[in-house]
Amino acid sequence: MSQEQWSTVDEYFSRQLVPSDPALDATLVSSAEADLPSINVAPNQGKFLHLLAKIRGARRILEIGTLGGYSTIWLARALPSDGALISLESNAAYANLARKNIEFAGLSNVVSIVLGTAFQSLERLIEEKAEPFDLVFIDADKESNPDYLRLSLQLSRPGTVIIGDNVVRKGKVADVGNSDPDVIGVRRYFDLLAANPQLSTTAIQTVGSKGWDGFSITVVSA
């Protein structure tokens, strides 16, 4: 199998199951024009996040890593009218573009983008005793995944779903000798997940237009 075949299958799924959408399409275009890194989720993956939030019945969503707001829009559209999504972004240019994309999608009333390092923003949410979140999407620098997990758990409750993106790293996650900080961060993330009896987790490998990668999904049990 090749990258070309994986991309072709993703394109087929998207054509069949993810109709073209003005706001989402505009977000991808504006992100490309602004030279943002092409690391947003694929359309079929975005809809997968949307469905997970729907299945969970999420009313409050926390996203760590906004980029241009593509996954933010997918997740926010799963919320009820009284729902809320808080997205954390450290890059001011990304945050400004995402706000414009979210406004164009008509979601400014439910989405708040918080500018600053995710670590500091999470600590602030904890200090402010923010209401727990029903779903957490971790999709920022992988080196900090252990910290993001530790802090996110303080903003969770029984039943909270935590999704970790890009955890396969083209298979490098299974290489115990790999010294890449992001790979080490993902491995430490899994160590914490496995050691916590209050968490039930699995991870899935994926192939597609974004290459060979995957995600983890965790449910907080207590």
User: What pLDDT is recorded for position 180?
Assistant: 96
The region that residue 166 occupies, defined by phi over 0 for left and psi between -120 and 50 for alpha, beta otherwise, is left
Grouping H, G, I as helix, E, B as strand and the rest as coil, residue 211 is strand
Residue 200, H or E segment: strand 199-208
Amino acid letter, residue 159: G
Which domains are assigned to the chain? 3-220 (3.40.50.150)
**pTM assigned to the model:** 0.96
Q: Is 115 helix (H, G, I), strand (E, B) or coil?
A: strand
Across 129-133, average pLDDT: 98
24: closest CA among 68, 64, 67? Answer: 68
Cα dist. 175→166, 183, 202 in Å? 15, 9, 18
What is the overall mean pLDDT for the chain?
96
Angstrom CA distances, 190 to 39, 130, 138, 193, stand at: 22, 26, 13, 5
pLDDT of 1 over the 90 cut: no
48-75 pLDDT, tens digit per residue, is 999 999 999 999 999 999 999 999 999 9
Residues 6+ apart with CB under 8 A from 6: 207, 208, 209, 211
Contact 57, 83 (CB under 8 A): no
Q: Phi and psi at residue 22, in whole multiples of 5°?
A: -55, -45
Q: What whole-number distance in Å separates Cα of residue 42 and Cα of residue 38?
A: 10
Note the pLDDT of residue 4: 95
Q: What is the predicted pLDDT for the residue at 163?
A: 98
Q: How far apart are the first and last CA of the chain?
A: 42
Number of helices (H), then strands (E), belonging to the chain: the values are: 8, 7
Using a pLDDT cut of 70, give the percent of the chain over it.
100
Query: Phi, psi at residue 201, to the nearest 5°?
Result: -135, 145
Residue 222 pLDDT > 90: no
Mean pLDDT of 151-159: 98
CB 201 within 8 A of CB 179: no
- pLDDT score for 9: 95
